[in-house]
Chain A
Amino acid sequence: MEIASEVVLAKTSVGCLPVLRLLELPARWAADAFAFCRGPLRMLAVGVLVLPIVAGCASFRSYQTEIGRTLDLVAVGRIDSAIKAHRGQTHYGEDLLYYLEQGELLRLGGRYAESQTAWFEADRRFRKWEEQARVDPEMLARDVGSLLVSDRLRAYTGHDFEKVMLTTRMALNHLSLGEWDQARVAIKRSHEREALIARLRAEQVRRAEESAGEKDEAPDFRELNGYPVRTIDNPEVNALRNSYQNAFSHYLAGFVYEALGEISLAAAGYRQAIELQPGLALLEEGLAGLDMRHFRRSRSVTEADGTTDLLLVIETGLAPARASVNINLPVPTDQGLLLAPVSFPVIREQRLVSGSSAVSTDEGMPTEASTVTSVDLMSRRALQDEMPWIMVRAVARATAKASIQRVAFKKDDSNIAGTVVLIGSVLTERADERGWRSLPARIGLARFRLAHGTHDVDVAVGSQKHRFSVSLDGPFAVMSVRQVGTAAYMSLSPGPGA
């Protein structure tokens, strides 16, 4: 038996005791009912016991396996087949994750209006979450289904960084459609969403600290023997201010505000981007050159100066997948400690292409697009932040399952109920692997001033080289290039007033 795991159990158990008492009660009632039944009724009772397990078959399926097939098609450039394949995966219903993934696939396919429709649905669900969180912040921690069977049964409400990323990507879609004013609306929603998340998480931390002060320290995943701690606890992950704010969203906000002539807001966007990702020349030049760019434009108010300020967004790879790892933890029963497998989510190391991309145009300005945002790191930071709560739920669940199992064996002489519960609890013990996988792993930026007209833009990411022909005729434009596997997808926004 591992000492570190015992420490974890001791810490998590302190907070779980009231929950465990609550769970033991229905377990006793269920066993009473089972013992009361005889003959065919008992078979029916077996069915009733099995039913929740079968009904919760979401906990058997692997989200990563299912979305993986779709993403494989994306990686070879078969985007229409990917959209079709994803629509065919009806197992998860049209839930939040479906709309998030579907919106991204449609964006890659250049179907921006359809993509927006899917993302509006996802946004509607996030807004519902926001409303609930505003009224009752504590409800976020409650979910009895996950305590009884699996975290996979929890309603998927999205990770914090996904909530912010959604409105940023909706802004990109608006830009692709030439709707700069609508992009501004989506960007403003990002600010509001960030502020709400910050408030909720601060409140959550405050409560956790108060609770830890009263009872014991919060559970620490670093003490879990066998857990790959370095994947979510390393200098790069810890350097992030939090899991949900990112420099790209704020730089894009700055660019859109600047394009719309709102300099005071543009300055805030660029400044926030610098604070989130310090030391990047591109971000610093965004703010330092703002007044000069604005001055130049205001001088040429009566006639366009014939150039386009082009923001090139280079997105690579896919957001990392979560997997399930089983770790044996000692669970207390009346017959002593029982070693029970408890599942935890992990994010394995993934091989990403080099952090920067080479960009050049036919006007002979080769430059390097530095990575300003890593969704890969944000995912890891999100998991790091979630781990204490995941551990509390996982240990409570394991103890509850052991408790139900013990009662079932004790009350039913035939041991059928106990065996069914045992099999069910082992089968359903899988960590929640869900996450918005079609998001890019990394986002890089480059900025050019190009003369109006048609240009060749060369983008090299790792060993992959792509050439795009773009036609520019407005004062501002945003060009997005997304590379997944060997495929590259491009989107160009007509600028405001183009």
Chain B
Amino acid sequence: MRIRFVVRTWLVAVVVVALGVAGGCAKQVRYGDPKSVETVNIDFGSTDLQVIAEAMTRSLLQSPVVGGGSRPIVTVQDVKNKTSEYIDTRAITDSIRAELLKSGQVRFAVDEVGMDEQIDELERQQSEYYDQEQSAEIGNMVAAQYRLQGSIISIVKEADGVKDVYYKFNLQLWNVRNGLLEWSDEKDIRKTES
């Protein structure tokens, strides 16, 4: 009986130690391809952002205003988030702007978001600490010829364990001088989770 008891005690101890070791296993961290398709969950993700930015940039570059070689000056305005998700639409327009700039076919004027910093810097350069010969003068900022604005909406439906999300991203290029809509395009994305 004593031997049986000792063996049992040891068995329990081995199981406890084994559980402890298993629990203490370290997790692995690895880098991934930022362009690879991300389907961790149905929420708006990096792939959606990239797909929208690429589609909009491609379409804009083919438009008569941008593709005509006149290197128009554009300012980026708000893309309204009409979904219930925390989508940073500025991240989408930043990507579009970066791609358009790389193409060399568009120039960008300071936008509303950067205006405070721009004014602060201009005013700072007027101070006595700067060589006024080299300082930027107030009143020389270049106004935009076009403004880029848009919106993103979503329609979410859920039934019997199936969730369907439809996103529609719309972008528009408006002529500031005459108020004409020069270009507009949409990108749809549909995702289903079950």
- Residues on A lying within 8 angstroms of B by beta carbon are 26, 29, 32-33, 36, 131, 135, 188, 191, 195, 199, 206, 253, 261-265, 267-269, 271-272, 275, 294, 298, 301-302
Contacts and interface: CB of A to CB of B under 8 A. Distances in A.
Contacts of B78: 263-264, 294
B81 A265 contact: yes
Interface residues of B, number: 29
B69 interface: no
B161 interface: yes
Contact of B41 (A195, A262, A271, A272): A195
A269 B5 contact: no
A264 B88 contact: yes
B119 A301 contact: yes
Given A261-B113, A263-B78, A268-B81, A32 B89 contact: no
Contacts of A195: 41, 43
Interface in B111-165: 112-113, 115-116, 119, 161
19 contacts: A29-B8, A32-B1, A188-B86, A191-B86, A195-B43, A206-B161, A263-B80, A263-B81, A264-B88, A265-B81, A265-B86, A265-B87, A268-B81, A268-B85, A268-B86, A271-B83, A294-B78, A298-B112, A301-B112
Contacts of B2: 36
Contacts of A263: 78, 80-81
A94 B124 CA distance: 50
Interface in B157-188: 161
A32 B84 contact: no
Contacts of A32: 1, 4-5
Interface string B104-116: 0000000011011
B116 A301 contact: yes
B5 to A, nearest CB: 6
A55 B79 CA distance: 60
Contacts of B79: 264
A181 to B, nearest CB: 15
B35 interface: no
Contacts of A272: 84
A262 B90 contact: yes
B83 A268 contact: yes
A263 B82 CA distance: 11
Across the A-B interface, the 6 shortest Cβ-Cβ residue pairs: A264-B81, A264-B89, A268-B86, A267-B81, A271-B84, A29-B8
Contact of A268 (B84, B90, B115): B84
B1 A36 contact: yes
Nearest to B119: A302
**Interface SS of chain A:** helix
Contacts of B89: 264
Nearest to B86: A268
Contacts of A191: 86
Contacts of A302: 119
A167 to B, nearest CB: 14
Contacts of B43: 195
Contacts of B113: 261
Given A29-B5, A32-B1, A195-B43, A264 B80 contact: yes
Contacts of B86: 188, 191, 253, 265, 268-269
Contacts of B27: 131, 135
A26 to B, nearest CB: 7
Contacts of A275: 84
A36 B1 CA distance: 8
B12 interface: yes
A261 B5 CA distance: 70
B158 to A, nearest CB: 11
B174 to A, nearest CB: 16
Interface string B39-51: 0010100000000
A267 B82 contact: yes
A199 B40 CA distance: 11
B41 A199 contact: yes
Given A263-B80, A265-B86, 13 more contacts: A29-B8, A199-B41, A264-B81, A264-B87, A264-B88, A268-B81, A268-B83, A268-B85, A271-B83, A271-B84, A294-B78, A301-B112, A301-B116
A498 B82 CA distance: 30
A301 B27 CA distance: 49
A302 B122 CA distance: 12
B149 to A, nearest CB: 12
A275 B4 CA distance: 63
B58 to A, nearest CB: 23
Contacts of B82: 267
B12 A26 contact: yes
A353 B12 CA distance: 54
Interface centre among B4, B86, B87 (most CB of A within 10 A): B86
Nearest to B82: A267
Contacts of B115: 298, 301
Nearest to B93: A264
Nearest to B123: A302
Nearest to B2: A36
A321 B165 CA distance: 40
A395 B137 CA distance: 80
Nearest to A28: B8
Give the one of B12, B84, B88, B112 with max A CB within 10 A: B84
A210 B33 CA distance: 36
A271 B86 CA distance: 10
B22 to A, nearest CB: 10
Nearest to A268: B86
Nearest to A270: B84
B102 to A, nearest CB: 24
A459 B119 CA distance: 40
A301 B79 CA distance: 20
Contacts of B112: 298, 301
A82 B153 CA distance: 49
A262 B8 contact: no
A264 B90 contact: yes
Nearest to B79: A264
Interface string B50-90: 00000000000000000000000000001111111111111
Nearest to B11: A29
A298 B115 CA distance: 9
A430 B4 CA distance: 35
Contacts of B161: 206
